[in-house]
């Protein structure tokens, strides 16, 4: 680690903290966002996510080494953490810290975009099935049953086999397209109960069309489970990406992702735990922070929660 990278890391920390402080300050003016910041965990979660995003964006400044470079394959394999190699080196003498920092780019990107695609699609299908019921529901939900019954890895393997050299965007889409089934069931169940509510009949009596009823009246009331499922979805996608990398069909090596770092270094987990521990911790932090933030968003969206 050089002075420059330490400095960059410090700046990233300060920036994240300052960002959260500013957001919090602005939020205090509005009732709804005050509820968001009510729990301390939400604030911390937001801070950690902000920090990780900044790190991902500024990766070249914060990483002291080229993440893919084998520094000294003879002397520096599985070097334990030290001042030079903050998180140690892996089995082929690559700097774990640099790889974790660069891995944030791919992992966070795939996680966020993949979960977004999955939740958007799942919400749409679930809302349509739950609202229109009858044959629409039957067809869509049998499709979901099929989707849930097919092993996801198998579908992904097929996609990879059919599409040689899967580009990054395609990987995200394929992950998104195979991850929405659970969300759609959840949303459908919510919509089934919400569509019977009096205010939905009242909205229709006012002349609102189906689209308006679904998107303005039904879905906002189902926001809490959707957001929670999105937060959990990011975690799932991160893990899925890890297992894909493990099978060698995810992001192409040597580019680092948290998932493939764990997969690559799993054999040395007893002798050199640092090379799997830190990417694993990074995944855990993201998932925990997302859950904390999701709780806050849920509170912010529910006006019945009185401000404390």
Partner 1 sequence: MTTPGAPPPLPPVLLRVSNLKTYFVTEHGKGTARAVDDVSFDLYPGETLGIVGESGCGKTVTSLSILRLVPEPPGHVLPGSLIEFEGRNLLALPAPELRAVRGNQIAMIFQEPMTSLNPVFTIGDQIAEAAIIHQHLSRRAARARAIEMLRLVGIPDPDERVDHYPHQLSGGMRQRVMIAMALVCHPKVLIADEPTTALDVTIQAQILELLDRLQHELGMSVLLITHDLGVVAGHADRVVVMYAGRVVETAPTDALFDRPTHPYTEGLLAAVPRIDAPRTRLHAIPGQVPAATAWPSGCRFHPRCPYAWDKCAAQEPPLLETGTAGHTARCWLVSEPARKVSKQ
Binding positions for partner 1, rule: CB under 8 A: 134, 197-199, 201-209, 212, 216-217, 220-221, 223, 301-304
Query: b/e string for 165-189 if b means 16 or more Cβ within 10 A?
Result: ebeeeebbbbbbbbbbbbbbbbbbe
Is residue 20 within 8 A of residue 43, CB to CB? The reply is yes
Tell me the closest approach of the beta carbon of residue 25 to partner 1, in angstroms.
Answer: 22
* Closest CB to partner 1 among residues 69, 197: 197
DSSP 236-294: HHHHHHHHHHHTT-SSPTTS--HHHHHHHHGGGTTT-THHHHHHHHHHHHHHHHHHHHH
For residue 89, what are the β-bridge partners? 95
* Closest CB to partner 1 among residues 10, 215: 215
Tell me the closest approach of the beta carbon of residue 201 to partner 1, in angstroms.
Answer: 6
Tokens linked to 186: 């959840």
* Closest CB to partner 1 among residues 149, 206: 206
- Which of 96, 251, 240 has its CA nearest to residue 166? 251
* Closest CB to partner 1 among residues 223, 269: 223
Tell me the closest approach of the beta carbon of residue 190 to partner 1, in angstroms.
Answer: 13
Tell me the closest approach of the beta carbon of residue 133 to partner 1, in angstroms.
Answer: 9
Tell me the closest approach of the beta carbon of residue 194 to partner 1, in angstroms.
Answer: 10
Distance, in Å, from the CA atom of 3 to the CA atom of 7, rounded to the nearest integer, reads 6
Tell me the closest approach of the beta carbon of residue 94 to partner 1, in angstroms.
Answer: 50
- Which of 245, 222, 238 has its CA nearest to residue 281? 238
Is residue 55 within 8 A of residue 101, CB to CB? The reply is yes
* Closest CB to partner 1 among residues 13, 208: 208
* Closest CB to partner 1 among residues 216, 252: 216
């Amino acid at each position: 680690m050089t002075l420059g990278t330490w400095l960059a890391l410090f700046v990233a920390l300060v920036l994240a903290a300052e960002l959260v402080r500013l957001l919090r300050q602005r939020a205090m003016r509005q009732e709804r966002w005050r509820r968001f910041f009510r729990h301390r965990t939400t604030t911390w979660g937001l801070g950690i996510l902000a920090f990780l995003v900044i790190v991902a964006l500024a990766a070249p400044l914060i990483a002291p080494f080229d993440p893919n470079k084998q520094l000294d394959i003879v002397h520096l394999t599985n070097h334990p953490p030290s001042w030079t190699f903050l998180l140690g080196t892996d089995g082929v003498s690559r700097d774990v810290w640099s790889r974790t920092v660069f891995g944030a780019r791919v992992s966070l990107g795939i996680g966020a975009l993949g979960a977004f695609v999955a939740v958007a699609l799942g919400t749409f299908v679930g809302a349509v099935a739950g609202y229109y019921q009858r044959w629409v529901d039957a067809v869509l939900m049998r499709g979901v049953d099929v989707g849930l019954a097919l092993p996801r890895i198998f579908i992904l393997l097929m996609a990879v086999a059919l599409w040689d050299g899967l580009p990054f965007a395609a990987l995200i889409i394929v992950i998104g397209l195979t991850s929405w089934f659970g969300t759609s069931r959840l949303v459908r169940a919510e919509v089934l109960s919400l569509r019977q509510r009096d205010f939905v009949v009242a909205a229709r009596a006012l002349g609102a069309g189906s689209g308006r009823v679904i998107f303005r009246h039904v879905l906002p009331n189902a926001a809490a489970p959707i957001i929670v499922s999105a937060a959990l979805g990011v975690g799932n996608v991160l893990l899925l990406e890890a297992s894909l990398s493990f099978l060698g069909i995810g992001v192409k090596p040597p580019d680092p992702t948290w998932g493939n770092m764990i997969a690559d270094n799993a054999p040395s987990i007893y002798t050199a735990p640092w090379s799997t521990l830190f990417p694993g911790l990074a995944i855990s932090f993201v998932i925990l922070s997302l859950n904390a933030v999701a709780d806050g968003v849920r509170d912010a969206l529910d006006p019945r929660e009185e401000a404390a």
